[in-house]
Chains A and B, each alone.
Chain A
Amino acid sequence: MSEYLLEMQGISKVFPGVQALSKVDFQLRAGEIHALLGENGAGKSTLIKVLGGIYRPEEGEIRINGQQVSITDVNSARANGISIIHQELVLVPHMTVAENIFLGQEPTTRFGVNHGKMARDAQRMLDRFELGIEAESRVVDLSIAQQQMVEIVKAISFNCRILVMDEPTSSISDREVAALFEIMRNLAARGVGIIYISHKMSELYEVCDRVTVLRDGLFIGTREVVPGNRDELISMMVGRELSKYYVRDYCESQEVVLRCEKLDDGNRKHKRVHEVSFEVRRGEIVGFAGLVGAGRSEAMQCLFGITPGSTGDVYIEGKKVRIRNAVDAMGYGIAMVPENRKLQALYHVQNVRFNSTIEVLEKFINKLRVDHQLEASITQESIDKMRTKTPSQEQVISNLSGGNQQKVVIGRWLATTPKVLIMDEPTRGVDVGAKAEIYEIMNNLTKQGVSIIMISSELPEIINMSDRVYVMCEGRITGCIPHQELSQERIMHLATLEMTGGQAV
């Protein structure tokens, strides 16, 4: 028997014009959780797809328990006990949990699918992880996190020895992440080897045993996950020393640019914003911290005028203004980079130029004339300012990496020359290198007098970038902390204040 459950050796994969992987080695032990780390485009997903039988490598061999195997397609990957949970969920929404778990391998009797056996077996598997999910409930009625659990159960419903998880935590809340990790540890304890892909370093330290870093299709190294080697990992990933990851020159101004009083999203079934009041000074980064669902994004959407029926007073530079829609908000110099890039910001089928200019059309389209030259130079300015990496302005936006997509979105809003820029999760789904660049750009903006409202669920980001932090909990602001007094403990204390019945004070 070999020491390793899975060995991938000298794997190379070439796409037209790109060496996606070159002689990559990877070893997985039974019962370990092994993180695969790298910037976007480093080759993580290519490696996973080779393992899953979606791509066939030009070179290299794969051994399972010391025996060489050939993985030619998805079925042979399955037959070898390899199971992959992709970033996007692939459950059928209107079928039951049991039907999803057994999709394509339903137990049958002479008369067709044996529904009773299927439901019982599914329930047994769900109960094994104490998930509290009913096998007969429909997938649409489950939360995203629960759906993810179902995916996992589905993945291990056949004899799975190697489980690959591609950014499973990108769309679920902290509490759900904890439950997910519990299940991962549980699986690992049963001898399953888990390959875990994530951008979040903090998660890696919480749950992973070892980590392998890839960069530009090359194998950089495998390390044990031990406290204190975070900087080493980051520089392995980025390929240069990160002398300064968070760049911040704190703001001294006392001049209030924006003041909101009693923002409220009106009477609705799921009320998320209760009389939120705050102020923003010139050149300041104001952080908004809180748990997922605390109402931070919703409060900003009230301010931005896209929540129908919202109330509250907004003062810009001391003058009371009325914002009825996003056009009004933009007119008063407010811009907003929304939370969910794919859903709320990108025009996927369009190119970089369209995506860079959609908010400033009035600058170059007038009276049936389109000034293409101006359009191109506005786009170029945004590309240069954000240091976006794109082969051309005609590139379709969905072909760019997450970091570069985000830069296009931020650049698009900067083209409106905002006084106040709202950034909702500005670095979500963005690789480390691009993150550092976005932080630097944010810092530069504040030096030019732009104020930034940053909503973030990443505490290190909030703590290192903000001048002041408002903490929200269940739709209310529970506190405001200046940067000198910021700490994880204080933020978490305020973020969970309402839930403990306010007694923690």
Chain B
Amino acid sequence: MTQKSQSVKQFSTSGFLKSLKRYIKDNLGILCALIAMILILYIHPTTHNTFLTKNNIFNVLRQSTPNLLLACGMTMVIILGGIDLSVGSIIAMSGCLGAGAVVWGGMPEIVGILVAIFSGLAFGLCNGFIIAITKIPPFIVTLASMNVAKGIAYVFSGGKPIRCMTEPWKFLGAGYVRFSESFQIPVPVVTMFVIFLVSVLFLNRTRIGRHIYAVGGNDTAARFSGISTAKVKFVVYSFSGLMAGLAGITIASRLYSGTCTSGDGAEMDAIAAVVVGGTSMAGGSGRLGGTLIGVLIIGILNNGLNLLGINSDWQYIIKGLVILLAVYVDFLRSTKKK
């Protein structure tokens, strides 16, 4: 009886501190990893003066933006028990289409940006439609659309970067939002914040967000619960495509060009961030809060290794080992709880 009343009471006094405490408890392993990485980079003589500067912090966040956008979509896809391999290629395609529309089509930049975003959404809709209606596994469907999107990027751009250097084009990736004379925030950081918030609200505070967990946890049970599993899948894959389109235009804007090689392997970074963040590949469970830490770990790792002057070939090896270690530590923790 005491346990019952406790659990009810816990909710009546729920507040910011409570949820913060819970968040720290849920993500203790990777939070420690993140803090350890920050400490090492702060203490290390090579990076002591550069790492924790305002500029570098914004740099890390700006570079992590595309990965966070993809990872928000990917978290939902993986909770749903699926996978989306097409997002990396969609980055290349949407960037090329957007830049092409502006440079070759002579359209205003805003139209180019919309073209990029909607081409991503269109691919997401197709993925979602096929996965919802047929029984083809998401791995296969998105593997196919990955190739199609990549192909479109190459065919459309002819394999060369499509340069676009106008100011409005640069805004989304390289611009700043000015709060005062001395305080300005890079636009991608604002995008990152807004998209993360929207994703959290969507996943945690809507019915369809709960339905994602339900369908991912047990597809058949969800059908018996009166959940339209097709609709949920359609929405989630569409969202993932939309995020890829947005990430694509952000990168194309920062590079001043749409490039058919950008976004190569981006889907793997996104999956890594989600998995490091504690979301199970089996589906049915996972949190965006963990994904955020996963994205930061990968972002700081990239940044730190660069600052330390480590050869980019070695970076792959180190990154791979860190991912494995982070997931393993988390695995140890979660099995111990049982």
Quote the shortest CB–CB distance from B288 to chain A (angstroms): 15
Residues of chain B within 8 A (CB-CB) of A298 are none
* Pairwise interchain contact A376-B7, C-beta atoms closer than 8 A: yes
- Tell me the chain B residues, 1-49 only, with Cβ under 8 Å from chain A: 3-4, 6-8, 11-12, 14
The answer to whether the Cβ of A258 comes within 8 Å of any Cβ in the partner chain is no
The answer to whether the Cβ of B59 comes within 8 Å of any Cβ in the partner chain is no
Category for how many chain B residues contact A: 20 to 34
Bound: A192/B204 CA distance, A:
56
* Pairwise interchain contact B11-A370, C-beta atoms closer than 8 A: no
Bound: A329/B4 CA distance, A:
33
* Pairwise interchain contact A370-B280, C-beta atoms closer than 8 A: no
* Pairwise interchain contact A354-B213, C-beta atoms closer than 8 A: yes
- Tell me the chain A residues, 347-393 only, with Cβ under 8 Å from chain B: 347-350, 354, 358-359, 361-362, 365, 368-370, 372-373, 375-377, 380, 383, 391-393
The answer to whether the Cβ of B206 comes within 8 Å of any Cβ in the partner chain is yes
The answer to whether the Cβ of A164 comes within 8 Å of any Cβ in the partner chain is no
Bound: A304/B227 CA distance, A:
13
Q: Which of B8, B207, B211, B285 contacts A350 (CB 8 A)?
A: B285
Q: Which of A306, A350, A392 has the most CB of B within 10 A?
A: A350
* Pairwise interchain contact B217-A347, C-beta atoms closer than 8 A: yes
Q: Which of A349, A373, A377 contacts B217 (CB 8 A)?
A: A349
* Pairwise interchain contact B224-A336, C-beta atoms closer than 8 A: yes
Q: Which of A306, A369, A376, A383 contacts B224 (CB 8 A)?
A: A306
* Pairwise interchain contact A373-B221, C-beta atoms closer than 8 A: no
1/0 contact trace for A317-357 toward B, CB 8 Å? 00000000111011000001010000111111110001000
Quote the shortest CB–CB distance from B268 to chain A (angstroms): 25
Residues of chain A within 8 A (CB-CB) of B178 are none
Q: Which of B12, B201, B206 contacts A373 (CB 8 A)?
A: B12
Bound: A338/B224 CA distance, A:
8
* Pairwise interchain contact B226-A330, C-beta atoms closer than 8 A: yes
Bound: A361/B6 CA distance, A:
23
The answer to whether the Cβ of A58 comes within 8 Å of any Cβ in the partner chain is no
* Pairwise interchain contact B221-A344, C-beta atoms closer than 8 A: yes
Residues of chain B within 8 A (CB-CB) of A343 are 218, 220-221
A370 (CB) vs chain B CBs: closest residue: B205
Bound: A325/B210 CA distance, A:
19
The answer to whether the Cβ of B225 comes within 8 Å of any Cβ in the partner chain is yes
B205 (CB) vs chain A CBs: closest residue: A368
Q: Known contacts A306-B224, A326-B225, A370-B205; is A392 also within 8 Å of B284 by CB? A: no
* Pairwise interchain contact A362-B207, C-beta atoms closer than 8 A: yes
* Pairwise interchain contact A348-B11, C-beta atoms closer than 8 A: no
Residues of chain A within 8 A (CB-CB) of B223 are 306, 326
The answer to whether the Cβ of A394 comes within 8 Å of any Cβ in the partner chain is yes
* Pairwise interchain contact A347-B280, C-beta atoms closer than 8 A: no
Bound: A350/B210 CA distance, A:
11
Quote the shortest CB–CB distance from B16 to chain A (angstroms): 13
1/0 contact trace for A285-306 toward B, CB 8 Å? 0000000000000000000101
Quote the shortest CB–CB distance from B17 to chain A (angstroms): 15
Q: Which of A344, A348, A361 contacts B284 (CB 8 A)?
A: A348
Bound: A350/B14 CA distance, A:
21
1/0 contact trace for B209-235 toward A, CB 8 Å? 011011001101101111110000000
1/0 contact trace for B250-287 toward A, CB 8 Å? 00000000000000000000000000000010101100
* Pairwise interchain contact A376-B217, C-beta atoms closer than 8 A: no
Quote the shortest CB–CB distance from A336 to chain B (angstroms): 7
Bound: A370/B223 CA distance, A:
23
Residues of chain A within 8 A (CB-CB) of B220 are 343-344
Quote the shortest CB–CB distance from B131 to chain A (angstroms): 18
A361 (CB) vs chain B CBs: closest residue: B207
1/0 contact trace for B284-320 toward A, CB 8 Å? 1100000000000000000000000000000000000
Bound: A368/B201 CA distance, A:
7
Bound: A362/B226 CA distance, A:
13
* Pairwise interchain contact B217-A365, C-beta atoms closer than 8 A: no
Quote the shortest CB–CB distance from B22 to chain A (angstroms): 11
Bound: A349/B4 CA distance, A:
21
* Pairwise interchain contact A345-B285, C-beta atoms closer than 8 A: no
B9 (CB) vs chain A CBs: closest residue: A376
Quote the shortest CB–CB distance from B14 to chain A (angstroms): 6
Quote the shortest CB–CB distance from A131 to chain B (angstroms): 31
Q: Known contacts A344-B220, A347-B214, A380-B4; is A359 also within 8 Å of B206 by CB? A: no
Bound: A380/B221 CA distance, A:
22
Q: Which of A346, A370, A373 contacts B218 (CB 8 A)?
A: A346
Bound: A27/B73 CA distance, A:
58
* Pairwise interchain contact B218-A358, C-beta atoms closer than 8 A: no
Residues of chain B within 8 A (CB-CB) of A330 are 226
* Pairwise interchain contact A365-B207, C-beta atoms closer than 8 A: yes
B215 (CB) vs chain A CBs: closest residue: A347
Bound: A330/B280 CA distance, A:
32
Q: Which of A344, A373, A391 contacts B11 (CB 8 A)?
A: A373
B5 (CB) vs chain A CBs: closest residue: A380
Bound: A392/B8 CA distance, A:
10
* Pairwise interchain contact B218-A348, C-beta atoms closer than 8 A: yes
* Pairwise interchain contact A372-B218, C-beta atoms closer than 8 A: no
* Pairwise interchain contact B206-A368, C-beta atoms closer than 8 A: yes
Residues of chain B within 8 A (CB-CB) of A345 are 218, 221, 224
- Tell me the chain B residues, 162-207 only, with Cβ under 8 Å from chain A: 201, 204-207
Quote the shortest CB–CB distance from A27 to chain B (angstroms): 34
Quote the shortest CB–CB distance from A307 to chain B (angstroms): 11
Bound: A344/B220 CA distance, A:
5
Residues of chain A within 8 A (CB-CB) of B221 are 338, 343-347
A354 (CB) vs chain B CBs: closest residue: B213
* Pairwise interchain contact A392-B3, C-beta atoms closer than 8 A: yes
Bound: A391/B218 CA distance, A:
24
* Pairwise interchain contact A358-B201, C-beta atoms closer than 8 A: no
Quote the shortest CB–CB distance from B20 to chain A (angstroms): 15
Q: Known contacts A350-B217, A361-B207, A368-B205; is A325 also within 8 Å of B7 by CB? A: no
Bound: A229/B6 CA distance, A:
44
Residues of chain A within 8 A (CB-CB) of B4 are 380, 383
Residues of chain A within 8 A (CB-CB) of B3 are 391-392
Bound: A343/B224 CA distance, A:
10
* Pairwise interchain contact B7-A394, C-beta atoms closer than 8 A: yes
> Which 7 pairs from chain A and chain B are nearest by CB?
A326-B226, A347-B217, A349-B284, A327-B226, A361-B207, A368-B205, A349-B285
8 other A-B residue contacts (CB within 8 Å) besides A349-B285, A394-B7: A326-B224, A327-B228, A344-B224, A347-B221, A365-B206, A375-B11, A376-B11, A380-B8
Q: Can you list 24 residue pairs at the A/B interface with Cβ under 8 Å?
A: A304-B224, A306-B223, A306-B224, A325-B226, A326-B227, A327-B226, A327-B228, A344-B224, A345-B218, A345-B221, A345-B224, A347-B217, A347-B284, A349-B285, A350-B213, A354-B210, A358-B210, A359-B225, A362-B207, A368-B206, A376-B11, A380-B4, A392-B3, A394-B7
